[in-house]
Structure formats: structure tokens, C-alpha cells
Structure 1
């Protein structure tokens, strides 16, 4: 994973005259980072409080539902919280059940501000269910107040539980409360799990009781610095940080930072065998792998910043948040890690200490064998690999539809079970309101048009203020179904200057905006990645090969998701934002390994190696580190699969499997096979494409023995 020293043994380098700055500079770097961390720690701890998970923080910036949500927040009392109390008995509600429900609802509405009108129960046709829609503006946009309200109502309802009687709380407000509780647990769970995974993998990789601690502590310092810096951006520039983007930033810092550490430590270990003093060996290691690491981090940061062009708030906010994490990881790995390693000296590698002048242990290289097979029959290898990727990509034909909001949990909370119960008990009525906001002077006309709209069963006036009025609409079709979508579109078509919001409208806008963002952001990411690769490799063909390879990986792993998410994991859909985010991560992170491999291949070609030999040497010398880095990066994204939200599980699966596919199939076999087939043309139009390696000298002809006489 990066330019490593040639496999041929080189004589040890004599130590130069000792310089006084050898120890002064590393200590200065360590002290500087200590000061940075002392300043950063208080602010890093505040990032959790600065995370925003309100509806408008995830919605498309310019969508109609976003405008409706903002108007609703400005109305008297702020954003409304809609709840639905559900009573259900499978054999049919009894008179005692209904009397109990009335008493309990009177108690709940007396304890909280749900308006002046008494709660009206709506019975199902089969008599098994009774629902009470409730609306309040008391919590506003205060998530903690909404959670407290939902918890109190559920506690009161729990007293009604008896044999056969279910009393549950559903509705958008309860769903938002359950989602917020999940978000509150993500940060701590994710950090602990990520640290443990990285620690185990570093111990296995380094086989040292001490060495694994160094990169782990350094990447922890990078995580603290990134959290503090992002918090500063929130306060200084009103950057939107959601729990999802903060979680992904943590994974990126640990994954990318550990990758850079693996590359640097591998190169440093080799240089210690050639160079006597650790300071000089580290300088040589930084000169050797620095360009590849810089290009790698630049590619990831550039790809993430392309998300700024997205119209979806959660995606555009993730761009700078993720880029800050990658840059902080880079800074720590190129400054703090080298300084600490130099100060600790060779003993940090104990018991496998690289002694000056020693030869590296000779082992049969798995990647040499794999590269050999690609070098012997590159055409067959390329065709077989393309067939595998193409077959996996066919799984996209089996992909489920967009993920509904109530299906976003891996474990079903009460709000979801109540929603499903309502859908079964009221098949011709929606329990999820559609919010319509209109200019106040058009309220009566808008209310009349809403009631006359096909698919609407009820429309009632709500709050008004600030020149706007609210209308609550109930559709006849279940939430987030084609019927409800048609009703929303019809309402929008009939409005004059108003906006339509609510959960169903938000999901409709999310799907449309994600489709638009894919059309805009994906080309930007490809152009940004290509420009960086062209600048680094000074070629057009090699960057096109690497880019095509990562796009093929994305297609294959997306198809694999279609074969796994619904049939095996039971997910009801794919989050609409997953295709774009998985593309950005797989392209930006996958190109990393291509950069390390191709940069070493170019280094070998500049040294005069034959194109085939350059490709195989690059794979042999970088394959082990690339494999270690790929496993670490995949494992850090796998941590997301342990979180209780389906979108994060899907993201973790796609990126983790994609990285492994890229590491062990595409980089090892396909890129090597293409490079062997194209030979010098892989560097076109650069000067290397016109250089021909010297022909091998002819072997001397065998001397014929004279025929014996006789």
C-alpha cells in the first residue's frame, strides 16, 4: 500500500553526522500536539450537543416539504408533534376497554397541552381498535421535551396493559422520539466498538505488545482534533452536523488514519534496516510514501467535498464533516506518529526489531503468487474478474424499493408496531397527517380545495400566525404508498403559494432529491478523482483504469446489496441516500489502494523495469500492506452494521464488502492484469509510455563439442 523499498537487498546506509535537532524536532511536534489536544478536548466533548437531528436537518434544502416544515416552526407554538394513541384487542374491544381508554385519554390531555378540543376516539370497522389522534406544539423543536412527552404518555398507557389489551403510542412524534433515542446511543457505542476493532487488528498485524498502541493513540488524537474543529465550524459557520454524519466521520478518521499508519510504519520498518538512526530512517520513509499518502487523502477529501453540491441537507453537511476528519487523520499520521516513533526508537517493534544492516525475513508471498497468475494469463484473469463483477451487478434488478421511515429500525420500537397495527385496523384511512401551510388570506379557499382533492378523507384548519395558516389533511391511503403520493402531488398542484409537508411528503421529496443529487454529484466526484490521479501518475490511461475499477466495484456491491438486504436481512427497502454516499466512499477510498499500487508501479518503471516486472513487483511489495489496510478499513465500516438503524447497517455493509472486493480482487488481479496487457501504454501520454526498456542481452551460444574420431 504505497511505495515501499525494492525487494532487492540494499547495503545499509552509513549514519550521517549527528544533528542536534534530531531529538528536538520530534519533542517539539509532540508538545505542539499536546497543546492542540488540551485546547481541543473541551470543544470535542460539545459536538454531541451541537448535533441536529430535526426533520429540516435531513430534508432537501429546496424541497416543498422543507419549506412547509420551516413555516410550521415559525407558527405560534413552533413545530407540532403528532401522536396517535392506539387501543387494540384481537377479539374486539369491550365496553370496559372503551371506558378505560376514555379515562386515560382525559388524564393524558389534562396533563399536557393537546389543545382545547377533547380527544375523539375513532373506532375501526371491525371493532378491534380505537385510535386517538393528538397534536401539540408544546415541545416545539426541543427533542428532549418531545422525548419527555412521549415517555410520560407511554408510562400512563402502560398502566392499562392487561390480558389481550394493547395500549401503544404511535404517530410521527413518537417515531421521531424513538429515532432520537437511538441517535443518543450511537456516539458512545460507535467509538468503543471502533477502538476495539482497530486495536485487535493492529495487534494481529504488528505482533508486538507495544507497537499497536502508538497508531491507536495517534488516531485517537486525530479524532479529538476533528471533533473540536467540526464543533468550531458549527459555531462559526452554522454547519449542520447530524448524528449520522458524526458517526461516519468517526469511522473515517479511524479507518483512513489507521491505513496511513500501516503504510508509514511498513516503510519505516524497512528503512530502519538500511539506515542507522531512526530520525533519518523516518525522513526516508516520509519521502518514499508521502506523495501517495497525500494523494490518497486528497482524493478522499475532494470526493467528500463534492457532496456540497448535493441538495439534501444531510448529504451536503456530511461533505465538510468527513473532509475535516480525513485531513485531521492525515495531519496526525504525518506529524505526530513519526515523532512518537522516532522518540521510541527501534525498541517499539519488539520482539521483531528491525536491526540495522539485517535482511528482511524471506517468506513466500501470497501476493507474488497471485500476481504471477495474473501475469501469466492476464486476458483470462481479466475476463473472469469482469464476469464476477458483472454477475454481482445483476443483483441490482432485485433491489427493494425506498426505505419507509417506520422501517428504519433494526429492532421494532413501539411507534412502529403501533403504525403497523393502525395500517391493519384502518386499511382505508391514513393515521399519518399531511401538513399543508398556505398564506393566511387564502385559508378558506385552500381548505375547500383540499377537501375536494381526490384521495383526501378529511381536512381541518389548524394554527395560524405570521401570515400563514396550517391545514391538517388525512389521506385515504396508507402512509408512503403510491396512493398517498398521488394525493400529495394533487394537493401541491391545487395550491396557490402554499406548501405541502409531513412525513409522506418528506419521503417523496427525499427520493426525488436523491435522484437529482446522484446526477450532479457522481460526475463531480469522478472528475475530481481523475484530476488528482492524472496529476500524481502523469498519465491518462492509468487514472481511467483505476476509476473504471472502482465504479465496477460499486456496481457489483450495489447488486450484492440487492441479493442480501431483503432476502437475507429482511430489510423492507434501501435508504434513498445510500447509493450516492456509498458511491462517494467506495470511489474515494477504493482509489486509495489504486494510488498506492500504481505509484509503486510507476516508481519501478522509472527505475527501468520491464512493464510486466514493474506490475508484479509493485503487487508483491505493496500487496501485504494493502491487504492489511483494506481489512482495517472494512472492519471499521463493519462497526456501523452493529448500530440499530437500517441506513447505517446498509452503508456499513456496502462499503465494507466493497473495500474487500476492491482489495482482494480488483487491485490484486484486474488492475495487475490490465497493466500487464497494456505494458507501456498504461502510462500514455506521459514520457513513460514512450520509453522502451532495454532488450535483454543475448545469451552466449553454446560451444559445440567436437565430434570424437572413429
Structure 2
């Protein structure tokens, strides 16, 4: 059945039908890809778990403030001290800034004094002053903030005075500017890296274009489909989901293409008719590609068990993208290859009857070196990886401080401005501690907060329908450890007031809830994903021992990747702190993608075991798949490594870790560790299957090949 389907998909007539069908789907969905950004949801509430205290606080705060209100701070700094003329000019900026669309509640040093605001607006040393305002542009705020910042900077300029747009508004402006055009740049960098690798791998000036074209088609269809799902089915898409999807589709799609093309090239040496050769190649390679894609899809869907909405939302969207990529790569790519013919491999065209070069290549020699002492090899390799994994102790997953949000050496206006405020004893009023409580207990809540180190004197600022809003400015950066400890103390204090039903929100509270949800997700999602991948491997290999071995090697590879990352983040990047969700993201992608190479290898081992036994089959499989898997690993490492070109620390870290982990899987775990274990244990790896319990029997005829030949002629 599978053989007949494989043959008919690439027959003399059906190849054109497949091509036409994919073109129609692409024409319908690809034009919608550009609209995906318009349905992104990057609001804090969309990232938080529904049960989090800060989520509940955000809902209660809607009675007091528009959720689109964004407090922005202009920081004025002059090393020699601000003069009276400078301060007078700052005052003149207030009315001008108030004229900007969406701006309200402008507070200058003078108006702060008139209103009796306790927080100082001019530093004691006279070097720094600030001006606050609130801006609201509705749903367009994210896109508009870089432009607003530029307008504000122009209006607030003073000769001899450094001006920074900081606070929550400045931070949003810098983040929006960093993401602006990022998808296009990331796609271009990724494609350039992959094209270069394919040129070296294929040694053909033509062949690389087909996998790249199919990968781009996959991305266009996936993004168009996700736009429809986000718009009409309430699927959550955010900026993080979209930029990860870009590298995932290009990387995974190219991997699938490499495996299929390599098998097709093998079959072209055995079959004179290219349709017949593709039928065999697709029949042999498709199960491994399907298992690989299924592993990634299932792994991503396991993220739906995460409590953190940003993590849970990442899974379904990228799972859809990978599923689309699989379908395109096993339909469009085979059709294009047989349409083009053998010449697409020029100048190294695989001729019918020519020798298979992998039989004496680098990976064949590697297997022969492992074979004499496989047990020594796998034990030594395991110990080495465990030692490397110790570097993970240098990782700090408590969160990325505000001044480390961007990569080292990146000058960021809001970060610099916030640092100046803290250094000169001024507070960032844009991110206060926000407490909502029942009005009849509001005074008691205020009293409970008195004296807590790290916050200024709390005050009741509003009352609505029996609920009061209490604000307290932080004395340090909102993401500083001192602020985090202060908010923990505030929560303990206000929760102890009976009948207050107090909820604590604000930027720092959100950070705390994200960290706690991430810790919970690590404990829940990782075991679920391991079980799901284990079941897929058991179904594919029809054994228990080999799936357990493969899971163990991938976990070891993940630990080693974290170990190397811990050292690199600290000593090379000067960014030892990571996002609370970093370990889970790294695990999901490394396990889901890293297991691919073991799937590619072990499906070939199983295929060869039938006629050659496990030990001989392992060597043949390593020799046959070594080159293509190495190329696939380098491609995937390069695509995720492209994330390191982004200015955000999180993107740099996740891209680096996945790239390192994939290279470890490709070069060491799959080629050395797994092969050595296979050679050491032999047929025991297939337990409880009966495979390799008897001497191999080679049938005189292969009826499958006859069926494929008939199907390929359709």
C-alpha cells in the first residue's frame, strides 16, 4: 500500500498534478503571510497564566486605567549640573509633549512639586531631572512607540544635555524597534546560511534551489494558515512564536530535503528510470521523515500543558508550521526532482550502475575505528559529556535583568536612561507596585506595606465600586533583585490583611509570576514530552530497548549543551542570566530536533539489520547516512545560530544553545555514542522484538521493488 502511494505521487502524470495542487494552495495562502504580524498579541496578559496573581490584578486594574496606557519617562542628564535655564526649558517641554497624539498626564518637576508628589523629579546632585507622561494609542501603541520616541527626543532636546526616553514607554519603543523588520532580516540571514551549506554539501550550482524553494513555500503556506487560525480560531501568535517559526521551518524543511535527496541519489544509481528511483527513495525515506516531523509536532504540542501562556501558545502554531513543512517536502520536492531529471545534480550526476561513494567515505572509516572497542568508546564518550554538563551550574535562570535584555555592546536608550535614574537616586514611576484591594480594608493594606525596604511610601490613588488602587514606587530597577524581593514582601504583607482580597500587580509582579510558572512547566512538560517521544520511537522501531537508549543519549546531549552554554554565556557573552523559560524551550527544541538524527540513523539500521544483522547493519547505516545527517545538523545549527544575530539576549542564548546541542547530536551522540552502543549490544537493542535473533535471510527477490516499479510507471 505505502509502496504504491509512493510510486503514484511521483509518476509520469501525477507529478504534474502534485505540482499544480501545491501551486494552487500557495497562491491562496501565501498572500496572507504578510498579515500575520497584524494578528500578533504581545500584551503581558496574553503571556501570563490565567491563575497568576498578576493576571488577576491586570483584570481588576482595568477599572482604574486603560490597559493601553503606557507611562513614559524623559531623563535629562548633565554631568556639570542642570542650570536654572535648563530646568526652565524642561518645564517648557511639558505643554509641547502634551500636544502629541494620545499623550496625557504630563508631570514636570514643577507640576510634581505643585501636586505634592513625594517622589523627587530632580536629583540631589542636580545632574538629573525627569519628566513623566502617559501615552495611549490603543492597539497601535506597539507599532507607534518608536516614532513617538523620536518625536519626543526632538522636542526634549537641550544643548549640552543628554536626553533619554526611558520608563515603560521607552522600553516598549526599544523592543518594537528591535523587532521591526526582524522577521525579514532573520529569513534572509537564515536562507543565505542554508544556501551556502547546501552548495558545499551538494557541490551543485543548481540542486540547492529546489530545497530552498520548497522551504520558502512551506513558510508562506504555514504563515498564511496561521493568520487564518489567529484571526478566526483565537490561536495566540506573538513575536517570539513568529521568529522561532521562521528558523524552524527553514531548518527542519531543509533537513527533510537532505534526507530525501540523499536517498534519491542512492536509488538513481540502482534504477535507470528516475520515476522508479524516486518511488523507492520516497518509500524508504518518508517513514523516517514522518517520524521526525511527528516527533517535533508532538513535542511542540506538549507545550500546551504549560501554564505560561507564552509557552503554551508557542506549541500549536509551530506544530502547524512543521506539519505543513512535512507535507510540502514529501509532495512538492519529489515532484520537482523528477520533473527536473538527473541533470539537476550537475556536475556530479549519479549515473545508473555507478558505485555508491559512501561505502568508503569518512563515516565508513569512522565506524570501522569504533568497531574494535565499542564499549570503551561509548563509556568514555558518556563520561566526557557528563563532565561537560557540569558547566550548566553556571546558568542563572532567575530572569534577565533589564540592563542585560540586549546583547553586550548594544547601546539601548531606555536601558541607559533607567540606569541613570537609579544611579542618581530617582525612581522609575512608570513601573510601580500596583495593589488592588477592597476599599473597606484599603487603609489596613497601606499600613501593612509601610516600612518595606525597596518601595517608597504607598498611597491610595483611586477608588471604584468598592475597590481601591494603591501604588508604591520602587527604589530600584523593576527587574533588579532588590525590587523582586520587595514585591515578595509586599505580597506577604497585603495577603495577611483579612478581608482585603488584595492582589499585587505591576511589571515586577509579572516577572515573579512568569518565573514561578516556568518552574512549574519545567517539572510538568518535560516528562510528558519524554513519554510522547518514547512512544513514537517505540512505534517506529518496534522495540523498547533502542528507544530507551536513544532517549537517554538525547538527554545527555541536552545536559552537555546546557553545560557548554553556561560557560559561553558567562565568559564569552557576559550574559550569565537567562529567561525562566529558557531551559524548557531549549529542551523542547533539542529533544524534538536532536532525536531526528537518531531517527534517520536508526531507521536505516533497522532496514539493514534484516539482511546484515545489527552490527554490520549499524556500520552500513552510519556510512550511508553519515554525510547527509552531518549536513542536516550543520544546516539546523546554522538556522538557529542565525538567532544570535538578533540584538536580544534571549534570542542569542536560545539560538546558541540549540546550535551547540544539534552539533553535539550530529557529530558525537549520533555518530559515536549511538553507533558504539549498537555495536556493543548488537541484536539486544531490538528487545523485545525478534529482529536479529536468527541468522539473516536474504530473499531471492524483493517483491516490494516490483510493486514500486509498477507504481512508478503510472
Deviations 1:429-469 (A, max 9, x none): 88741222335665555445444655431323445557654
**Displacement, 1:471?**
2.7
Cα distance change on mapping 1:152 and 1:72 into 2, 3 Å: farther
Contact 2:437–2:503 at 8 Å: present in 1 too?
A: yes
Deviates more, 1:634-643 or 1:353-362: 353-362
* 2:661 corresponds to: 658
Contact 1:430–1:478 at 8 Å: present in 2 too?
A: no
**Displacement, 1:566?**
2.2
Cα distance change on mapping 1:177 and 1:29 into 2, 3 Å: same
* 2:129 corresponds to: 130
Question: Does residue 1:638 correspond to 2:613, yes or no?
Answer: no
Contact 2:10–2:338 at 8 Å: present in 1 too?
A: no
CA distance in 2 between counterparts of 1:677 and 1:510 reads 45
* 1:489 corresponds to: 488
CA distance in 2 between counterparts of 1:300 and 1:364 reads 33
Contact 2:458–2:471 at 8 Å: present in 1 too?
A: yes
Question: Does residue 1:173 correspond to 2:169, yes or no?
Answer: yes
* 2:158 corresponds to: 160
* 1:41 corresponds to: 30
Instruction: Select the residue among 92, 105, 116 that pairs with 2:81.
Output: 92
Query: Aligned pair count?
Result: 673
Deviations 1:293-347 (A, max 9, x none): 1111101110010000111121111101111111111001111111111111222
**Displacement, 1:398?**
1.7
Contact 2:166–2:414 at 8 Å: present in 1 too?
A: yes
CA distance in 2 between counterparts of 1:172 and 1:509 reads 19
* 2:19 corresponds to: 30
CA distance in 2 between counterparts of 1:472 and 1:104 reads 26
* 1:619 corresponds to: 622
**Displacement, 1:504?**
1.1
Question: Does residue 1:526 correspond to 2:515, yes or no?
Answer: no
Cα distance change on mapping 1:141 and 1:445 into 2, 3 Å: farther
Question: Does residue 1:184 correspond to 2:180, yes or no?
Answer: yes
CA distance in 2 between counterparts of 1:116 and 1:218 reads 53
Deviates more, 1:445-454 or 1:396-405: 445-454
CA distance in 2 between counterparts of 1:669 and 1:565 reads 27
**Displacement, 1:477?**
4.3
| Residue ranges of structure 1 left out of the alignment (5+ in a row) | 1-17, 695-710
Instruction: Select the residue among 595, 606, 609 that pairs with 2:610.
Output: 606
Q: CA RMSD in A?
A: 2.5
TM-score (norm 2): 0.89
**Displacement, 1:22?**
3.1
Contact 1:458–1:475 at 8 Å: present in 2 too?
A: no
Taking the TM superposition and a 5 Å limit, the aligned residue runs for 1:410-489 are 410=407, 411-426=410-425, 432-439=431-438, 443-451=442-450, 453=452, 455-462=454-461, 465=464, 468-489=467-488
TM-score (norm 1): 0.90
Deviations 1:187-238 (A, max 9, x none): 1111111121122211221122221111111111111111011111102221
Deviations 1:532-555 (A, max 9, x none): 001111111101111111111111
* 2:503 corresponds to: 499
**Displacement, 1:145?**
4.2
* 1:567 corresponds to: 571
CA distance in 2 between counterparts of 1:19 and 1:476 reads 70
CA distance in 2 between counterparts of 1:617 and 1:154 reads 66
* 1:678 corresponds to: 681
Question: Residue 687 of structure 1: SS of its match in structure 2?
Answer: coil
Question: Residue 42 of structure 2: SS of its match in structure 1?
Answer: coil
CA distance in 2 between counterparts of 1:156 and 1:190 reads 34
**Displacement, 1:94?**
2.6
CA distance in 2 between counterparts of 1:347 and 1:175 reads 54
Taking the TM superposition and a 5 Å limit, the aligned residue runs for 1:261-280 are 261-280=257-276
* 1:53 corresponds to: 42
Instruction: Select the residue among 91, 103, 119 that pairs with 1:102.
Output: 91
CA distance in 2 between counterparts of 1:20 and 1:156 reads 64
Contact 1:81–1:139 at 8 Å: present in 2 too?
A: no
